[in-house]
Structures are given as structure tokens and as C-alpha cells.
Structure 1
Amino acid sequence: MVSLARVSDLNELITLASRRFIETITQIQFSGALHGDGLVRVVLTGGGAGIGLLKELARLDAAAEAQSESFPTLRVDWSRVHIFFGDERNVPVSHQDSNEGQARDTLLKHISIPEGNIHGYGLNGQDLDEAAAEYEKTVRRHAPDGFDLHLLGMGGEGHINSLFPHTDAVREKEKLVMAVKDSPKPPAERVTLTMPAINSSGRVWLLVAGAEKASAAAAVMRSAEAVDWPAAGVGGTKETVLFLTDDAATELG
């Protein structure tokens, strides 16, 4: 079942999601993560809301550090967080289209997280099937029981990660990672986590803003067919939350 967290606009969405992120991750770190080892596995997403969230997390982390001695506040222990990416374009990390590159620029280079805790796809124009197979090994090695939190953006047609309507990738039932060689949204070549990988997560959060996404948001809330509206097929084992701005909620009734 999808829980709705409705907000007025993108700024309020980012504010709410960032604070809930910190509360959730710190709670997991104190009470025991999915794997029972004190490490939290988080999948990041790109897009306006996703990158906005990362920027706000960096700002809040810096603020918490600045006031830590005079007024201790809730803060994520990033040394016990492992970072993954929902999908990646077939470009180097230095490219402006790289999801990992954007995450590094907005959050990861600003926090105290070990480099070994950041699990990128390592794409740079190589064979996509081989890259997908290698990332599947990475996921199974470092997150064998799934992810604690999977963040997702969503397109107007309901795509998540690089899972687009009526494609082989959205229909995949076994593999955790797939190559996408003909994405309808450029660039065409990508590697993506699949629905089985997403739904292995304890918590799945959809970050959705914009009037053009109203039909897809309504499809999520009515549990439409995933092959038609991929975002409607996601479900965390503990919770699934749709953070939704008012302009994207016009078709909810």
C-alpha cells in the first residue's frame, strides 16, 4: 500500500523528504539495519527532486557539524552508509549526464563517507551487458538482502530508474540489473536496477513534482499495471511513500 505525503511545492517536498531521510537513516542505524550489521544501504536518484534532496542533505549535514559542540543535533553517520544508484547513463562520472557525478557534486564530496562505500556503475562507453552483470555482482555482494531505502524520481509516463513502459526492462522478473540500449529518453544507453531490485528494499520513496506527472501519480495511487505505469509496480517491504506536490496531485480526486 502506498502512503501519500502531499506537499504544496517542490521546496516543501525537499524539506520534508530531507528531514524524514535523516530521521529514518539514524533510526535504522540505532535500531538495526536490514542486514543486521549496522550498515544502511541507500539507493540515490537523479532528477530535480532527487538532486534537490541531496543538496539539502549536504546543507543540513554541514549545519549539524557546525553546531555539534554547542547544540548537538540528529546527524547521519555516513561512515555506516553504503550508496548505490538506481540507474546510470553510459557516460563517465565527469559527464554532466552522470547520475553518480551529480550525486558526488551535490552531496557525496561534502560529507564524511568512505570512497569504498560508494558503489557506482563505472560506465565509460563499455559493453552494457558486461557492466550490468558486474553491477549485479556488486549489489549481491554489498546488499545481499536488499536496500534499506530506495529513492526514486518519476517521469511523466511513469518511468522510474531506466524502466520505461512496455519495455523488456520493466518486465524483468529475476535479474537485479539490466542493460538498456534503446531508452526512449536520451541518452539511449543506460544500465538500471530492475523492479526485483527496487522491491527488495525495506523502504521505497517516490519524489514527484510537476503537473505533467499528475496522470502517473494517479496511476501509482490506484495500483495500475506496472507494464503501463512502471512507478505503480514499486513496493517496499516496510513502507512505500509517494511524496507529491499539489500540482502533481490534480488527478487524485
Structure 2
Amino acid sequence: MSALVEVHDSSDALATAAAGELLSRLADLQSAGGVPTVGLTGGSIAEAIHRELARLSPGSDVDWTRVSVWFGDERFVAEDSPDRNVAQARAAFLDAVGATQVHSAPASDQVATVDESAEAYGRDVREHAAGGFDVLMLGIGPDGHVASLFPGHPALEAVDAIAVGVPDSPKPPPARVSLTFEALARADAVWFVASGEGKAEAVARALADDGSISETPARGVVGTTETLWWLDRASASRL
């Protein structure tokens, strides 16, 4: 199944469109009686989308108390650190919209090691999100990494695991928890979001006909029903 690509004139237009489409999907799932399961990501374009979700949610039919929220990866730092993806998402929109089912990997002041955090997050996923994700939003790094699965890293080879500890991330902070390829693959819709010229080469590699997952880990994640790339003109400039 080929990936779909949507190119928007600017990062602001991208953020507004992605937020609006996510709210539409969530409303449809809830109207059918479901409790949607959504995976969020970090980064500047994700934060812009989150701000748009805060702006647009009051006019939507989405009940955020009936949305199960997760993260593709998390930084293993103290709970109150602004580096935490969950902290950024709470500040941008989750608290404002009243989300109550928010799941994240335990922080460094809650468990002793990054591996313990990964094991706990894996148990949480198994208990509360065993059916996978309805929509999984992911970023892509300039090096092609996805979540905290980096090029050539041993975490790429993790098997029979939902989450893995990454103690030596090449990007700070060095200790992280990431969902594995096996867990990321259990998503109906995978949405990659990218903006800026700095992402253009990685986006092109991820969408190329040929290439390796080891070199460009983002190539290793596709949705079971949809894989959609939300791009601005700068990040799409090498396609």
C-alpha cells in the first residue's frame, strides 16, 4: 500500500489541516461508540498541531475524556522536566481540552532505570491499548529516525517487545523509551508530520522506492489501512 502525501503551503497550514482531520477522525470513531486510541509525537510541528487542537477542539464533537492518548517515545528525565513529550503535550493542549486517559513512560524520578520505564510502559500498552492505535502521529528526524529508533541502533532489532529502553540516544537527552517497530506497526493510520528544509532529505529517503530501514528507520513504519505524510513545501522540496 503506497503512502499518501499531503503538501501544504506552510507549516501553519499543515498544522491546521492535520488538527482538523484528527478531530474529524476522533469524532467519527466516538460517534460509532468507540474510545479512540491515539499516539502523539514531539517536535516543533507536533507542538503547532497541538496548539491547533486546543484552538479547534471547543468547536468539535470530540469528548477528550473518551480518547486514550499515548506517545511513540519519551525522554527518560524527571517528571517535571519540560523535555518530556507528555509535559509539552499537556501544556499545549491536553490539559486545556480535559484529556484524562493520558499514558506515558515513567519518568526518571519514578523508576530506577530506563529499562524499567520501558517495561512498565509496555505493560501499560498491553493492558490498555492491546488493540493498537487508531491514529499514530510520528515525526522524522533529519537523520531519518522515528520515535527514538535511530539509524544503525540495536533498538531497531528489538523483537517480542512493546517498548525498549534507549540509554545512548545520539540526540539529547541520551536516555529514552521508545515503542518498537512491532508496536508501531499496530496502527490503523500512521501519520508522519514534518516541516522545514532540514527534514527534506530524510523525507525523500523515507519515501524513496529503494533504501534500508537501518539507514532510515522511518521507512519501517506503515499503517495497516493508511500511511499519510503531512508536509509543508520546504520538507517536501526534495520529493
| TM-score (normalizing by structure 1) | 0.89
Q: CA deviation at 1:14?
A: 0.1
Preserved contact between residue 171 and residue 227 of structure 1 (Cα < 8 Å):
no
The reply to whether residue 215 of structure 1 matches residue 211 of structure 2 is: no
Other-structure match for 1:124: 108
* RMSD, aligned CA: 1.3
Give the Cα–Cα distance (whole angstroms) in 1 for the partners of residues 31 and 215 of structure 2: 39
Residue 242 (structure 1) aligned with residue 224 (structure 2):
no
Bigger mean CA deviation after superposition, 243-252 or 12-21: 243-252
Number of equivalenced pairs: 235
1:45 to 41, 57, 69: 41
Secondary structure in 2 matching 1:247: coil
Question: Is structure 2 residue 12 aligned with structure 1 residue 11?
Answer: yes
Partner of 1:178: 164
**Inter-partner Cα distance in structure 1 for 2:10 and 2:178:** 28
Structure 2 counterpart SS, 1:160: coil
- Any idea what the Cα deviations from partners look like across 1:83-133, whole Å, max 9, x if unmatched? 11111111123112111111111111101222xx11121212521111111
**1-structure distance, mates of 2:8, 2:165:** 35
1:43 maps to a residue whose letter is: G
Matched, 1:165 2:151: yes
Q: Distance in 2 between matches of 1:227 and 1:178?
A: 17
2:63 paired residue number: 77
Matching residue of 2:3: 2
What fraction of aligned residue pairs are identical, expressed as a percent? Answer: 36
Task: Output the CA distance in 2 between the equivalents of 1:245 and 1:170.
Answer: 28
Cα deviation, 1:47-71, whole Å, max 9, x if unaligned, reads 0111111111011123x2xxxxxxx
2:84 is aligned to: 98
Q: Does residue 110 of the first structure (1) align with residue 79 of the second (2)? A: no
Q: Does the 8 Å CA contact 2:26/2:62 hold for their aligned counterparts?
A: yes
Separation in structure 2 between the aligned mates of residue 106 and residue 216 of structure 1, nearest angstrom:
27
Among candidates 214, 218, 234, match of residue 227 of structure 1: 214
1-structure distance, mates of 2:157, 2:46: 25
Structure 2: where are the runs of 5+ without partners? Answer: none
Q: Which amino acid aligns with 2:44?
A: G
Q: Is the 8 A contact 2:106 2:120 kept in 1?
A: no
Aligned 8 A contact 1:46 1:99 in 2: yes
2:52 aligned residue (29, 35, 56):
56
Q: Distance in 1 between matches of 2:220 and 2:150?
A: 12
Q: How does 1:134-173 map to 2 (within 5 A)?
A: 134-173=120-159
Query: How far 1:174 moved relative to its partner?
Result: 2.7
